[in-house]
Amino acid sequence: MAKTQASLLLQKQLKDLCKNPVDGFSAGLVDESNVFEWSVSIMGPPDTLYEGGFFNAIMTFPDNYPVSPPSVRFTSEMWHPNVYPDGRVCISILHPPGDDPNGYELATERWTPVESIVLSIISMLSSPNDESPANVDAAKEWRERRDDFKKKVSRCVRKSQEML
């Protein structure tokens, strides 16, 4: 039953996103027969290091959505303090419900509908959180060697444009 409800909710949210698109974001299904896996494209936000980039990601929803949040993994190369080296995005809105075992976040700061998740990812690109990084090397570089960080991000942006 839960999977059916999740499936109906996801179909509705995808339809809503297509009708009222979020700036700098598009989504579709990876495979028409599976509403639990979305292929998303995120444009690098204006006035950020990621501007001009077209970054692809896979958003995978659990069977018990919306009780548990989806996971998001960039398939495009991404250099960012809040993105693991394997592309997985680590931001509070994607953490499971309940209070944070590390004590950093309250359950109320956690995820909500897809649109909010997308806006959070776009915001993450605009202002990295280097306090609890997923990619320690990127966070260290962001703090200590900003020019090197910018070069790596520029390379990711260029690569993403070549994939178009």
Q: Other CB atoms closer than 10 Å to residue 72's CB: what's the count? A: 24
The structure tokens listed for 90 are 């680590």
Q: CA distances (Å), 26 to each of 32, 52, 106, 109, in order?
A: 16, 15, 29, 25
What is the spatial distance between Cα 156 and Cα 50, in angstroms, rounded to a whole number?
A: 8
Question: Catalytic amino acids?
Answer: 90
Rounded to the nearest angstrom, the gap between the alpha carbon of residue 56 and the centroid of all alpha carbons in its chain is 10
Torsion of CA 56, 62, 66, 70, to 10 degrees: -30
Torsion sign across C-alpha atoms 66, 67, 68, 69: positive
The structure tokens listed for 60 are 């995978």
